[in-house]
């Protein structure tokens, strides 16, 4: 009679008679991390056993018992009554062990024609596929919040910056629409990644496929995959889908961090462009006047956590031979971390954008300072006086220096001041020196004119509908 393996080895015993060292159990167990894939594991097991029965590999009676037992396991997990055990290593062995306790001997037939290698690869793909869809939906929600604000502020003038120096006047709506474009690309990356990874590893077994007459097309279709993966080695060892998913999270986080940085600047007393609502601000323990943009700062900071997950994931995978190595157990925690952090960032940013208050007079006053209409003057000299642009640039530079010396803006220079630099100028030049005239003139496709901004808002609202 064969010796029964020590506790914790029931799923892979036989060759082993002694229990693993406690430290070995600790480093080997992943249940605290991968138990969040319980729903995916049960989903995959249901598809697998249905296929086994259809292929006459297990009986209909065993199939029904397994499905009924999985229903009970699912209910126990949902109700918080499931007895998770670290000595059973992971979610797959925990579920199978509990299934055996519930239905007995038929539970042992569930693992026919599969391995934990293809099982975990399937679960992980199912989880990541849904996480990508959720982040795509969240990104869409942020885009919609930005669109509402852009529509509301299509003609709100603010300074446009390069090098964080005043460059040209733009509209706040135009500025926000730049982020709509960025987040639209993030959303498309999530959906592209989801489409590319949507193939089923189930049936690849440990690494070489199986000798049982299984139907991989059936389980793939049952789980919503486009097709089974075409190479069993690739099926169990590929984790580039996780790398790509976390990379998409990282790029999105970078865009969120850029917007967060701008919010921190805009909300400062020195700028006072926006005021975050109380729901998205914090105070100081000793300075009662403070309104801190902590949510924006934390969005900015969590970007580093997401980048770190990507770098760590690449490092874990970089030297692994085919097919499966235990190193891959680390992939899920890193991927979960990145998606969890991005979840908070997207939700926080959507909340801030939806509820902030914009100080239009402060924006307009800032836009009028710093000689922001200098380029408009240069363009006027080209258009009305026929100067070559480089000469117009020189004349405008001299005009800016004169205004700087006098301590005034370009529009505050007298006509005599302007004529002292370019004698052919007339009072008509003042029509291009206001910030409103500047933004209204920028009517090229993609420009900051309120007309163009509202066109883009309408276009995106239609696309997202």
Question: What residues act catalytically?
Answer: 163, 284
**How crowded is residue 90: how many other Cβ atoms within 10 Å of its Cβ?**
25
For 13, counting Cβ atoms within 10 Å of its Cβ (0-12 exposed, 13-18 middle, 19+ buried), the class is: middle
CB 121 within 8 A of CB 179: no
The answer to whether the Cα torsion of 119, 84, 77, 190 is positive or negative is negative
CB 403 within 8 A of CB 371: yes
DSSP secondary structure string for all residues of 252-273: HHHHHHHHHHHHHHHTSTTT--
Q: What is the distance between the alpha carbons of residues 441 and 449, in angstroms, rounded to a whole number?
A: 7
Q: What is the DSSP letter of 7?
A: T
**Geometric angle at alpha carbon 19, from 13 and 24, rounded to 5°:** 105
Ramachandran angles phi, psi of 293, nearest 5°: -85, 60
Q: Which residues pair with 292 in a beta bridge?
A: 282
DSSP-derived 3-state class of residue 111:
coil
DSSP-derived 3-state class of residue 282:
strand
Q: What is the distance between the alpha carbons of residues 147 and 179, in angstroms, rounded to a whole number?
A: 10
The answer to whether the Cα torsion of 443, 178, 196, 112 is positive or negative is negative
Count, residues in the chain = 465
**How crowded is residue 269: how many other Cβ atoms within 10 Å of its Cβ?**
8
DSSP-derived 3-state class of residue 202:
coil
What are the tokens at 56?
A: 């006459």
Q: What is the distance between the alpha carbons of residues 212 and 49, in angstroms, rounded to a whole number?
A: 13
**HSE-up (13 A, CA, CB side) for residue 442:** 21
């Amino acid at each position: 009679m064969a010796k029964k393996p020590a506790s914790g080895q029931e799923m892979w015993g036989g060759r082993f008679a002694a229990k693993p060292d406690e430290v070995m159990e600790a480093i080997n167990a992943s249940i605290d991390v991968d138990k969040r894939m319980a729903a995916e594991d049960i989903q995959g097991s249901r598809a697998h056993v249905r296929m086994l029965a259809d292929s006459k590999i297990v009986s209909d009676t065993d199939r029904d018992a397994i499905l009924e037992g999985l229903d009970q396991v699912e209910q126990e997990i949902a109700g918080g009554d499931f007895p998770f055990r670290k000595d059973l290593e992971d979610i797959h062995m925990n579920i199978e062990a509990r299934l055996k306790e519930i239905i007995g001997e038929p539970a042992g037939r569930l693992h026919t024609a599969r391995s934990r290698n293809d099982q975990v690869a399937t679960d992980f793909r199912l989880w990541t596929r849904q996480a990508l869809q959720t982040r795509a939906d969240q990104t869409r929600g942020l885009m919609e919040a930005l669109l509402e604000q852009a529509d509301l502020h299509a003609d709100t003038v603010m300074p446009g910056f390069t090098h964080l120096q005043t460059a040209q006047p733009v509209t706040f709506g135009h500025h926000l629409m730049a982020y709509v474009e960025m987040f639209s690309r993030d959303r498309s990356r999530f959906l592209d990644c989801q489409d590319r990874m949507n193939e089923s590893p189930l049936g690849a077994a440990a690494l070489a496929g199986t000798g049982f007459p299984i139907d991989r097309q059936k389980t793939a279709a049952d789980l919503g995959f486009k097709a089974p993966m075409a190479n069993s080695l690739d099926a169990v060892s590929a984790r580039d889908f996780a790398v790509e998913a976390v990379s998409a999270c990282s790029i999105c986080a970078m865009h969120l961090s850029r917007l967060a940085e701008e919010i921190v600047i805009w909300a400062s007393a020195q700028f006072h462009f926006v005021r975050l609502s109380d729901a998205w601000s914090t105070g100081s323990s000793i300075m009662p006047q403070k309104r801190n943009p902590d949510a924006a700062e934390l969005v900015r900071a969590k970007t580093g956590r997401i980048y770190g997950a990507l770098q760590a994931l690449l490092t874990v995978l970089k030297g692994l031979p085919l097919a499966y190595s235990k190193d891959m157990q680390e992939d899920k925690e890193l991927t979960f971390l990145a998606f969890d952090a991005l979840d908070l960032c997207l939700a926080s940013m959507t909340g801030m954008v939806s509820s902030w208050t914009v100080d239009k007079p402060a924006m307009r006053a800032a836009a009028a300072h710093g000689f922001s209409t200098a380029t408009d003057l240069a363009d006027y000299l080209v258009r009305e006086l026929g100067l070559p642009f480089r000469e117009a640039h020189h004349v405008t530079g001299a005009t800016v220096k004169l205004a700087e010396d006098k301590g005034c803006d370009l529009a505050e220079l007298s006509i005599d001041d302007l004529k002292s630099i370019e004698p052919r100028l007339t009072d008509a030049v003042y029509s291009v020196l206001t910030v409103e005239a500047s933004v209204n003139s920028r009517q090229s496709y993609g420009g900051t004119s309120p007309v163009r901004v509202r066109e883009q808002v309408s276009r995106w609202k239609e696309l997202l509908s």
